[in-house]
Amino acid sequence: MKTCILGLILIAAPVFAQDAIKDALVKHWKSSADFTLAVAKTMPSENYNFSPNPEEMNFGQVMAHIGAANLGACVRASGMPRPALNDKMNAWLKDQKTNVDKDQAIQFLTETFAFCNTAVGAMTPEKLNAKIGPEGRQLTGFETLWSYFTHTAHHRGQAEVYMRVKGIKPPDYVF
């Protein structure tokens, strides 16, 4: 009897671990969305075209870049079809030097984070463990999501520096 119970525990342990990983991804993706949107909303509209130097994306482009990168990662990892984008964001994707205003950025971030929250929440342990990407550069679904979670943090930090350069206090960090 003890052997049978121990066997069941050993079989079930990986499933519980996968659920814990998925739950953490869902929780932190939501926190990342909330914090990124707070950063986007705090920057005044008139500063959305600001960049500290010509080589950098401007603030609006950084916000759009975050949304586009997350969208791509969530589509790849989950296998769900990419949602349709509005004309302005499709134009930006074709020419990423195009300016993105505050309303566009917030709408795009809201939509892409909502899609990601749904995609991440729907992923099975098999999807989290499945290798995706080109030969030699394959990552698991989990690694893909985690890498873009950190990518968002990187660019959100960049956006916060832009805010500080303009004398604007970013929202308090949330994790």
Q: Is residue 15 scored above 90 in pLDDT?
A: no
Predicted confidence at residue 3, as pLDDT, reads 57
pTM of the model: 0.87
**Residue 113 token pair:** 């984070």
Q: Write the DSSP assignment of 104-127 as a string of letters.
A: HHHHHHHHHHHHHHHHHHH--HHH
Q: Note the pLDDT tens digit of each residue in 68-125.
A: 999 999 999 999 999 999 999 999 999 999 999 999 999 999 999 999 999 999 999 9
CA-to-CA distance for 134 and 139, rounded, in angstroms? Answer: 9
Measured distance CA(160)–CA(7) in Å, rounded: 51
pLDDT score recorded for residue 92? 93
Report pLDDT for 54. 93
Contact partners, residue 170, CB within 8 Å, separation at least 6: 39, 42, 159, 160, 163, 164
Question: What confidence tier does 4 reach under pLDDT thresholds 50, 70, 90?
Answer: very low
From residue 147, alpha-carbon distances to 6, 67, 131, 171 in Å are 35, 14, 14, 23
Residue for token digits 């995609």?
119
Residue 11 pLDDT exceeds 50: no
**Residue 133: what pLDDT?**
85
How confident is the model at residue 18, as a pLDDT?
A: 57
All structural domains of the chain, each given as residue ranges with its CATH number in brackets, are 17-165 (1.20.120.450)
The answer to whether residue 8 scores a pLDDT higher than 50 is no
pLDDT at 153: 95
Determine the Cα–Cα distance for residues 37 and 110; give it in Å rounded to an integer: 7
Give percent of the chain with pLDDT exceeding 70. Answer: 89
Helical spans, DSSP H, in the chain: 2-42, 59-78, 87-94, 102-122, 125-129, 141-165
Section 128-157 average pLDDT: 93
Q: How confident is the model at residue 6 (pLDDT cuts 50, 70, 90)?
A: very low
CB neighbour list of residue 66: distance below 8 Å, 6 or more residues apart:
36, 109, 151, 152, 155, 156
User: What is the predicted pLDDT for the residue at 21?
Assistant: 83
Q: CA 143 from chain center: how many Å?
A: 13
